[in-house]
Amino acid sequence: MTTRAEREMAAGHWLLASARSRPDAVDEWREEGATLLRTGLLFGAVSTTAALVHAAVGVATPQECAAPLAEALDGPLFYEPDPSGSEDAYTALIPASAALRWRLPESAAHPYRAMLLVPAPDRTSPGADPTTPWWVVPVDGPGNLCPANRVAALLALGRDAVSPTGGGAA
């Protein structure tokens, strides 16, 4: 049996394979709570608005979303506060191959080899810096990603909740 701390450590080592400089990324995670990692190699990333995710799960805050999102997505998702306060976002980590084919409305796949600000594996709540991202559903181990079809279903729920007559299935 592995502990949460052991899974976080293993997930962190795995994620760091996407860093330009592993030592710098470790330092940034420790000092700033987040670091830039390259998408498209080990994982892909899809972002959408917080409003759409909150509409999909029927709650208003990232903290309230944690349990329903963990069940719905079965994979890692982090919250990105917008420093301007205009549009917070969520980013799901999905298989890299799925991100290359991603074309769903109200969301954006990060391009292949784009740099993405990713929270440290143990950052599971807002920290001292309210603009730093944090995991709502943490990475549960190396290679554990959200199935793309589950992310698509969540987005469809959100679209339907926001616009019941104009939404559509993904």
Stretches in the chain below the pLDDT threshold 70: 165-170
pTM of the model: 0.93
Stated as kind and residue range, the H or E segment containing 89 is strand 89-94
Per-residue pLDDT reduced to its tens digit, 86-107: 799 999 999 999 999 999 999 9
Tell me how far the alpha carbon of residue 152 is from its chain's centroid. 14
The per-residue pLDDT for 170 is 44
| pLDDT confidence of residue 129 | 86
The pLDDT of residue 83: 81
Diameter of the chain by CA atoms?
Answer: 50
What is the model's pLDDT at position 166? Answer: 53
Cβ atoms 17, 39 nearer than 8 A: no
A 10 A CB-CB count for 18 gives: 21
